[in-house]
Structure 1
Amino acid sequence: MNGVQLLLIIGVGITVSAVAKRRGVEPGLVIVILAAAASFIPWMPRLELESEAILAIVVPPLLYSATREASVSQFGANLRPIISLGVVLVLLTTAALGYLTNLLLPSIGAAAGFVLGAILAPPDTITTVSHGAEIGMPKRVVGVLTGESLVNDATALTMFTIALGAANGEHTTFGQGAGELARTAFVGLGVGVALGMAAIWVRKRLSAPTLETSLILLVPFTAFLLAEEVHASGIIAVVAASFGISINLTLDPKHQYEGGYLARVQESAVWPVLDFLLETFVFAYIGLQLRFVLADLAESAEPGLAPTLIAAGVLLVAAIVIRLVLVYGLFGRWRLRERMSARRAERDPRYRAALERRRTRRGGEPLSAPDNKETLLVGWTGMRGILTLAAAAAVPETTSSGAPFPGRDAIQAIALLVTLGTLLIQGTTLRWLARRLRFDLAGERAAAEAMRDRGRAVVETAGESFDQQRGAVGTALRDRQLDEETARELIAEIDLRQAAHHYGS
């Protein structure tokens, strides 16, 4: 790929995105479809990148950006459904789609089948929830899907790495795979926390917004590569570093420093631009591979073009159905346990007293299981996206022995077709479904507005000093007078006012 081609891709992507947004269509869907169609232009060259570069360059900044806007309190409150969706669901989906691939395309081998299963397992929920308010999603659903997006990528990439190892001849049992998943997550968490602490320490001493922003832009790549170097989860490392930096430097009064507001204002403008450029590039890059991947399949004896297209159709339907079934199963089991617990509490005073003590320690009632409408909406939010496309592109051309990687062209073609299919089927109907379910969001919106009014009162009573206002917001958050989302909005408003005052004086 040369520089001119890259600039043309991004330039066309900007134009396409502008038109798509005006028409209320997901830009990524339009870009990948147009790129796939453009790949059939006779003079269109094949664009090639090193497979390792796709994951290392694209995924870390996108994940870091998504995490820095996520709510830690919402993540903790929804930890149970997040683990169910981000770990259990991904593992079961990987196994189911891998097994189905082996039935449909036995010629590529079991290991390559499970590589494809891991690639197709994680949905790209973060793109969806970024438009949650427009779609009409309840806050609970947005919190669950946001948390899922921060966990499922790590689970899927770990399974992807294990399956690649198996394709290279490494012997791995189920127990070894589970142990590897736990180890990579734990070590990745440590790498992310350590790097986040180091970045905070350095940033507070740079005293220059441009340098501070440059440092933070390096963090996701550094966290990912450091973790991968010690064979840990780069995804978990990026998430941990992002959470630590954003919470401490934005909301914790102890970590505020002179001039920090300028760096935060600058970052809030930089990250959306970087997100857009990377997403545009990945969708276009994968779409432009379609003609060449299909041509390679048509020339190959195994698995061949027709079997691959049939497999793609079956796996597309399976990916949608499996998520719906498993989400209903996981959330239904949760509701069943709640009912059983309530009945036991009615019969057993000691058990009821133990539940009361547990609620007191937690500071209130635990969140209940999602209802049927929330379950359906979560189950339907299964569009595949950036990680699926990037992981498919990251499948190496050869195994460690130097032999061609089995079924690589089929894997990439199926990943692209399933991504397109889920975007077309689920992505274009999600807004309609949310409206048909008719969630009553009036109470939720009223509570949010009341919280904002409370936050404005906290700021007004703090005095004229911007630092005092931020400190008051941080204290109110610590004392649970404000929620994290409101605190972030208030800090951003204070930062903007101080920046306007700084540049206007």
Structure 2
Amino acid sequence: MNGVQILLIVGIGIAVSAVAGRKGFESGMVVVVLAAAASFIPGVPRLELDSELILALVIPPLLYSGARGATMSSFAANLRPIISLGVMLVVLTTGALGLISSWLLPGLGLAAAFLLGAVLAPPDTITTVSRGDEIGLPKRVTSILTGESLVNDAIALTLFSIALEAVNGHDATWAGGIKEFAFKAGVGLLIGGVLAVAALWLRKRLRNPTLETALILLVPFTAYLTAEELDASGILAVVMASFSVTANLTLDPKHQYPGGYRTRLQEEGVWQVLDFLLTTFVFAYIGLQLKFVLTDLADSDGLVRTLVAAGVLLAAAIVLRLVGVFGLFGRWTLRHRMIHRRADRDPRYRERLRQVEERQRQRGGEPLAPPSMKDTLLVGWTGMRGILTLAAASAIPQTTATGVPFPGRDAIQGIALIVTLGTLVIQGTTLGWLARVLKSDHTADRETAESMDLLGREIIASMPSTTDADFDAQRHALAVAVHEHRLDEETARRMIDAVDLRQAAERTRD
């Protein structure tokens, strides 16, 4: 692939995204569908990128950008469903799809079949969240999906790397897999945390928006590559680094410094542009592989079997998501009912439960009830596969460590593409309709958002807005309100963005 081809792909992707946005379609879905169709145009060349390049240069910034929108309070409040979906369901889905793949495509071998399961397991929930207001998703649902997106990609890619090592001839056992997973996850999180601390320490000493932005842009790549060099999870390292840096830069007074508002404003635009360019390129790149993947399968007499397998795995991926969500959330609902039934019968247990709930309120959160049936159905239907599935499939090397062709590489890539397209078309185009049919009551969400906005504006309005010290004091007051559990993080970040803009405007007039 040469530079001209890359520029053409991105340029056409920008034009397609602009038209799709005006028509109300998800741009990524339109780009990948059109790219897949364009691959059949006579004379279109096959584009190939090194497999390690996809994971090392594309995935880290996309994950970092996605994690920047998460808040600690929402993550903590929805920890149970996040862990259920992001860890348990991904592991179960990987295993189930791996077993189905080994039955449908016995030539793959068990290790490659589980690798395919890991490729297909994680849904692209962050894309759904980005359209949450437009689709009409309740805030509770978007909070769960945002938290899930921080976890499921990391878990799936960690399982992917373990399966890849097994295909390459490394011994693989259940005990060894669990031990390796724990090592990769633990060391990856540690590396991400250490890099975040170092970046935060250095950032406020640079005192230059360009240098500070450049430093933060290096963080996801440094976290990923450092972790991978130590045989740890680069994905978890990136997520931890992003989560730590973003939360501290915005709300921790220790990391506020003169002129920081200029860097925050600059970074917001940089990450949006980078996220769009990378996502558009990967969707287009993978779509353009369709014709050539199918041709390779036809040459090897495996086309019909692969198409059948792709259809079965597409149906299985959708059903497993629904069954898993209803099973996990149903268990939570049953446990919740049993606890309150016991509280109704046992006064002492009721008093202990009341004390636990009161302590939770003092920490800034209401006791969390299980998701409603409507919310459960919406979460279950958000199973569209996306950027990670496509990138992971394209990252499979052409040969194993021993130099032999990677088993079923073309079949895995073809199935990943078909399953992604299928979920985008089946679920992606009907999710908004389902949300409207269910008619979720957003009254509580609107009332909470209005009260938080009112409080945030009151905090800002009660203070002067003339000098840099005044704006610093406003941001500090908003951060204090979050730490005192009077204001939620999402509102505080939005208000701090507004303060940054007003300060920039004030300095421009000066």
Whether these two folds match at TM > 0.5 is yes
Query: Aligned residue for 1:426?
Result: 427
Cα deviation for residue 141 of structure 1 reads 0.3
Q: How does 1:118-129 map to 2 (within 5 A)?
A: 118-129=118-129
Cα distance in 2 for partners of 1:444, 1:489 equals 16
After superposition, give the CA deviation of every residue in 1:432-465 in whole Å (9 maximum; x if it has no partner).
Answer: 0001000111221122011101111111113331
After superposition, give the CA deviation of every residue in 1:462-503 in whole Å (9 maximum; x if it has no partner).
Answer: 333111111111111111111001100110000011111122
Cα distance in 2 for partners of 1:182, 1:145 equals 24
Cα deviation for residue 135 of structure 1 reads 0.7
The answer on 1:320 being equivalent to 2:318 is: yes
Cα distance in 2 for partners of 1:228, 1:356 equals 46
Query: Aligned residue for 2:48?
Result: 48
Q: How does 1:24-173 map to 2 (within 5 A)?
A: 24-173=24-173
Cα deviation for residue 360 of structure 1 reads 3.0
The answer on 1:401 being equivalent to 2:382 is: no
Query: Aligned residue for 2:248?
Result: 248
Query: Aligned residue for 1:344?
Result: 342
Cα distance in 2 for partners of 1:22, 1:214 equals 33
Cα distance in 2 for partners of 1:370, 1:101 equals 32
SS in 2 for 1:204: helix
**AA at the equivalent of 1:202:** L
Cα distance in 2 for partners of 1:450, 1:362 equals 20
SS in 1 for 2:170: coil
Query: Aligned residue for 1:284?
Result: 284
Cα distance in 1 for partners of 2:181, 2:435 equals 34
Cα distance in 2 for partners of 1:442, 1:353 equals 31
Query: Aligned residue for 1:311?
Result: 309
- Report if the CA contact (8 A) 1:462-1:472 is conserved: no
Query: Aligned residue for 2:384?
Result: 383
Cα deviation for residue 349 of structure 1 reads 2.4
5+ residue gaps, structure 2, are: none
**AA at the equivalent of 2:33:** I
Query: Aligned residue for 1:274?
Result: 274
Cα distance in 1 for partners of 2:345, 2:443 equals 37
Cα distance in 1 for partners of 2:255, 2:163 equals 42
Cα distance in 2 for partners of 1:102, 1:85 equals 24
Poorly superposed stretches of 4+, deviation over 4 Å: none
SS in 1 for 2:45: coil
**AA at the equivalent of 1:418:** V
Cα distance in 1 for partners of 2:408, 2:402 equals 16
Cα distance in 1 for partners of 2:91, 2:234 equals 18
Cα distance in 1 for partners of 2:281, 2:439 equals 36
Cα distance in 1 for partners of 2:310, 2:101 equals 9
Cα distance in 2 for partners of 1:116, 1:494 equals 47
Query: Aligned residue for 1:462?
Result: 463
Query: Aligned residue for 1:480?
Result: 485
Cα deviation for residue 174 of structure 1 reads 1.7
1:357 corresponds, among 349, 355, 358, to 355
**AA at the equivalent of 1:370:** P
Larger mean Cα displacement after TM superposition, 386-395 or 454-463: 454-463
SS in 1 for 2:113: helix
Cα deviation for residue 170 of structure 1 reads 1.6
Query: Aligned residue for 1:413?
Result: 414
2:494 corresponds, among 466, 471, 489, to 489
SS in 2 for 1:170: coil
Query: Aligned residue for 1:504?
Result: 509
Aligned residues: 503
Cα deviation for residue 176 of structure 1 reads 2.2
Cα distance in 1 for partners of 2:186, 2:343 equals 36
Larger mean Cα displacement after TM superposition, 222-231 or 3-12: 222-231
**AA at the equivalent of 2:472:** D
**AA at the equivalent of 1:454:** L
5+ residue gaps, structure 1, are: none
Query: Aligned residue for 1:6?
Result: 6
Query: Aligned residue for 2:203?
Result: 203
Cα distance in 1 for partners of 2:54, 2:405 equals 19
Cα deviation for residue 169 of structure 1 reads 1.6
Larger mean Cα displacement after TM superposition, 420-429 or 364-373: 364-373
Identity %: 66
Cα distance in 1 for partners of 2:489, 2:247 equals 9
Cα deviation for residue 306 of structure 1 reads 0.5
**AA at the equivalent of 2:496:** I
Larger mean Cα displacement after TM superposition, 393-402 or 441-450: 441-450
Structure-2-length-normalised TM-score: 0.97
The answer on 1:332 being equivalent to 2:330 is: yes
**AA at the equivalent of 1:480:** H
- When the two chains are superposed, the root-mean-square deviation of aligned CA atoms in Å is 1.0
